[in-house]
Structures are given as structure tokens and as C-alpha cells.
Structure 1
């Protein structure tokens, strides 16, 4: 099957998944009614009389922004994982390897425990602080790597990132132990959830994800070259150290932005790149946007399962992705060992 046909099928599947994510819940809304409600809200077209106002309110104010946010978060994590695996030449690498989630968790913990609030930002204080702390962790990890290893070898970057991540997790554990009244809130944030998310979250995250996606797409050629080895890339004229800094920073920013809104959600950035490469090949010009689609659709499905499997209660979406991702992680690791 040609790549164009595969891409069209993928887009159609994403639209179908999005419709299911919006329509299924305590009140089922058929796909045609969903389209009528969306057209009514965007273009003020007449709304069929059989659609109750409760369905309109639930779909437009709760499910639609939640599903779109899940798509953006899943897509951002998937794209970030794709770039990280290519830059570090490790199929098990992700932004979490460099401590993004750990740094963001500490930032979120500080806001939750202290009640810190930035004037004018209000509800966006926690996402901003989480993003800042996540990026700061990556910056410190890569800076430390460049000092101890001038060539910035991939194994050194991964090792330093893991050490930083473990240290920061220890700091978060101490913070939680010293503030037990906030234990449940911090624990829920670390497991991830799309509950009670609004259109404001979508409007803030959307331009960040689109900008990050476009910037990373600009470096798809360099990513293709780097997959053949750093020596070959240097011989062609690629500034490896500069490109690594830039791509690692952009990937970390995508991950940090995504998880700062909904909490820590793992394994999407591990699963998506492998599945997409299996279907579409290794060209990053195709792999990056297709990872965005696959990661977004996968996250919508995970969130749908999380909010319906034990309805009316809701499971943390991070637990659903972990149940799928952990076995996949083991599969990738041991299949790689067999190949070697």
C-alpha cells in the first residue's frame, strides 16, 4: 500500500476515534448529531429539533474540549518520543529519560503544597511552573553532560538524565512526606487526568504543539542523516552538538507543555514511534506527523477507557497507558536483545 493511501486511512481513523471519544459516555451522542452540534456552534447552522440541549451542553462544554486536549497531549508526547529515539539512537529513549516529568512533578508539587499563584494567570500557574521546572531539569542535565563529555555521547546523556530524574524524584518524595495533607492531590497529578478540562486549556496548548511540530519538521532531514551515525553526519557537515541541543530542547518543551496541563502520562512516547515506523518507514518527514496522529488517537482511546470502564467513577489515564505500555516496553527491550 502506498504511503499516501496509508496516510489518508490514518487521518480517517483519527476522525472516527475522535467522534467515538466525543460521543460515548453516560449519554450517547450519535456521530451525525455530533457533526450537527459542531456546525451549529461554529457556523450557527440550525440545530435539529430532536437534539436535546443537555446533549449540546455535555458535548460542547465537556467532551469535545477533553477529547481535543487528549489528542494534543498524546500527539505531543508521541512526536517528542520519536525525536528523542532518533537523536539518542535508543529505541527505549523518551523525554522522561532526561527528567522532564520529574522536574514538572516537582514544580507542580511546589504549587500544590504552597498554593502559589501568579497574578493574571490563575489556573495556568501550575502548568507554567511545571513546564518551567521540566525544561530547567533538561537544561541542567544536558549542560552537565556537555561539561563531562565534550562529544555529548548518547549514552552519557541518557545516564545523566536518569541520575537527575532519580534525584528529583527523591526530592518530590521528601516534599510529599512533609506535606501529607496534599498527598492525594500530588498523587493524582502524577497519574494524569483529563477530567474537568476546558476550552481554555485547548486554546493555550494548541499553538504550542503546532509550533513545536513545525519546528521539528524543519529538521527532519538532519534527523534522517543522524540515524546513519554521528560520524557520517559530521562528515556531511551537520553540527551534531548544536542539533542535539536544539532537538532535545524542542522535544522536552513539547513533553513539558503537554504534561503540565494534565499530569504525568507515560509510555505514549515509547509506543507511538515504533508502531508508526513499522507502518510508514523511517523517513522523519512522514514519521513525525503520523506519530502526532497515532499518539493523539491512542490517547483519546485511553482516556475513553479511563472514564467509562468503571463509570461513574474515573481511572487515571496514566494507569491505562502504563498497562499497555509496560508490556510493550518489555517486548521492545527483549526483541532488541535477540536482534543483537
Structure 2
């Protein structure tokens, strides 16, 4: 019976991954200029394998390879990273409504970015990476601050303590960012766009940074899958089963902060993905993190790519991606949550 269940789950996993890549392909093809699948395959094959691309596809090649393909892949990777960090947070904090933003990663990164935008501070060596680097640094520093303060109150890093300290620090950084925005109204539009998220202007060098980090995060999280399963039952039981709860929680929270910080600094603040994807995956695949972790990455990536496609095609002027994820994600998450309660 177990073998049959594992086989059905494995089949469902394969189907899900294929469906996610199909969605990514659709997102690449649809836009102000629709690109047929045959032309897209010709262009991608030509770029990868060095085969000739017909001259009549020159304009299409520029649109697909230079603009649309890196943007769609970046959205997929950011969505996957956010969903992965959400799965970690929900497990470590033993709360299905927890997300990586609970620890203030988003607000910290936004504060760092807003300071750079307002002060116009520059470091020639970093160039266009200045904003992402400062956003990530502030977001990661916020999490370190939360863990340090939480450890002073509770050496075991109990979930309630971490959540409470995280909310306090997040509210504080949001208040500071509001003050910064109030004193720099000339930059309010740029700050608003950052806070709502966008993948406009993403290129291949963004993927070269995101892809290794996503692969690293996915592999490390899978290695912690068993510990995450045990921690989900409570700290006391985890200790009894030989898991170093404090060390595991610290490492997993820092990993979640890394994934969220990198995602936020390249796309701005985008919510709901880290809540929706892991929750939906648990309903379909069960609670085992051996399946939840990789499936959350692919489902989150596909969802983000789909939302980005809607953001750039729904109206003539591009919509913020965060607004789309919120409009789609909020009712969808409520439906998922109510369905999960009924199943119990």
C-alpha cells in the first residue's frame, strides 16, 4: 500500500513539475507580441546549441532572448525562493500562517533600499547592484537582530518568542521607512514601486546570481527535511528524538532570510507567494517536507511567473507584481485555508 502511495505521489510530482515548466513557457510566449511555440524553440535552440536562426526572426529573437526570457526565469526563481523560505518558516515556527516576512526581512530590505533611493548614495564598484546589495544586507541584518534579541529572552528560540520579536522589529523598521518616505516626497513614486515589486528590466546577469543561490537553498533545505518534519511536532519532542532544535532553527531561519533577502532585493516586496505555495502543496502532497520543499519551489515559481505575465499584459501600463499576487493570492489563500479546515 505504501509503495502504491509513493508511486502515485511520485507520478503527481512529475506531472506538477512538467505543468510548472509549461506555465513558464506560456509566460515567455505571451505578451504585447505573442511568440509561437515553434519560433520560441527555434530561437532558444539556436542560442543554446549555436544553430542558425532565420533572419525573419531577428526582432522576435531580441524580444524573447533579451527581454522576456530572463524576466520570466527571474520571476520563476524569485517565486521559488520565496515559497521555499515560506515552507521553512511555517515548519520552524510551527505556524501555517507564518512567512519569511514574519522576521522582518521584507521591511529591513525595503528600509535599506529606501535609504539608497533617497540619499542617492553610490559605490562605483557595485554599479547597478548597489540597491540589491544594500537591500539584502539590511534584510539579513534585521533577521540577525531578531535572533539575537529572541535568544536573550529565550535561549531555545521558542517559536512564539521569535514571532513576537520579529513582529516588533518589523513594525519598527516599517515606521522608520515611513519617516524616510515622509521626508523625501520627491522619491515617493520610486519607493512605492519598490514596495509593490516589479521584474521590469531583469537580464541574464540577474539569473546568474539567483540560480546558484536557489539551487544551494533547495539542496540545503532538502537535507534538513527530516529535521523539519520532527520540529513540526514541537520542540520537546524534537529534543527527545535527538534533534538539536536551537542549531537547526537558527540555520533554517538564516537560510530563509538569505532566500527572502536575495529575492526582495531583486524584485522589491512581493507578498502571499510564501504563504500560498507551501500551503497548497501540503494539501496535495501531505506534510512530509521531503515532498513539500521541492514542490513548493516549483509551484511558487510557476505562480510568480504567471502573476508577472498578468502584470505586464493586463493593461497598457505595467501593473506592480505585488498587487497582482495580492489580488489573486488573498482569496485563493482563504479558500485553501477553509478547505484545509473542512478536511480536518
* Counterparts of 2:312 and 2:244, CA distance in 1: 46
For residue 2 of structure 1, give the secondary structure of its aligned residue in structure 2: helix
**1:322 corresponds to:** 326
Residue of structure 2 in register with 1:180 after alignment: 185
Instruction: Report if aligned partners of 1:135, 1:256 keep a CA contact under 8 Å in 2.
Output: yes
Alpha-carbon distance in structure 2 between the residues aligned to 1:240 and 1:73: 28
Question: Is 2:40 the counterpart of 1:27?
Answer: no
Unmatched 5+ residue regions in structure 1? Answer: none
Q: Is the 8 A contact 1:127 1:260 kept in 2?
A: yes
How far 1:167 sits from its partner (Å)? 0.7
Distance 2:22 2:314 in 1: 20
Instruction: Write out per-residue CA displacement over residues 292-332 of structure 1, whole angstroms, 9 at most, x where no aligned residue.
Output: 10000000110010000102x10000000011222345456
Question: How far 1:233 sits from its partner (Å)?
Answer: 0.8
Q: Is the 8 A contact 2:81 2:259 kept in 1?
A: yes
Query: RMSD in angstroms over aligned alpha carbons?
Result: 1.7
| Cα 1:107–1:118 shift into 2, 3 Å | same
More displaced stretch, 300-309 vs 146-155: 146-155
Write out aligned runs for 1:130-145 (5 A).
130-145=135-150
Q: Determine whether 1:2 maps to 2:8.
A: yes
1:79-228 to 2 correspondences below 5 Å: 79-228=84-233
DSSP 3-state at the match of 1:91:
coil
Give deviations 1:94-124, integer Å, cap 9, x for gaps.
1101100000000000111111222321011
How far does residue 198 in structure 1 lie from its aligned partner after superposition? 1.0
What is the distance in 1 between the residues matched to 2:156 and 2:336?
28
TM-score (normalizing by structure 2): 0.94
User: Which residue of the partner structure matches residue 4 of structure 2?
Assistant: none
Aligned equivalents of 2:183, 2:46: Cα separation in 1:
51
Mapped contact 1:92–1:329 kept (Cα < 8 A): no
User: Helix, strand or coil: the match of 1:213?
Assistant: helix
Partner SS for 1:176: helix
Match of 1:247 in 2: 252
Match of residue 270, structure 1, among 250, 268, 275: 275
Decide whether aligned partners of structure 1 residues 245 and 339 sit closer, same or farther in structure 2, where only a CA change above 3 A counts. same
* Aligned mates of 1:18, 1:95 — CA distance in 2: 24
> Which of residues 236, 239, 243 is equivalent to 1:234?
239
Name structure 2 gaps, 5 residues minimum.
1-6
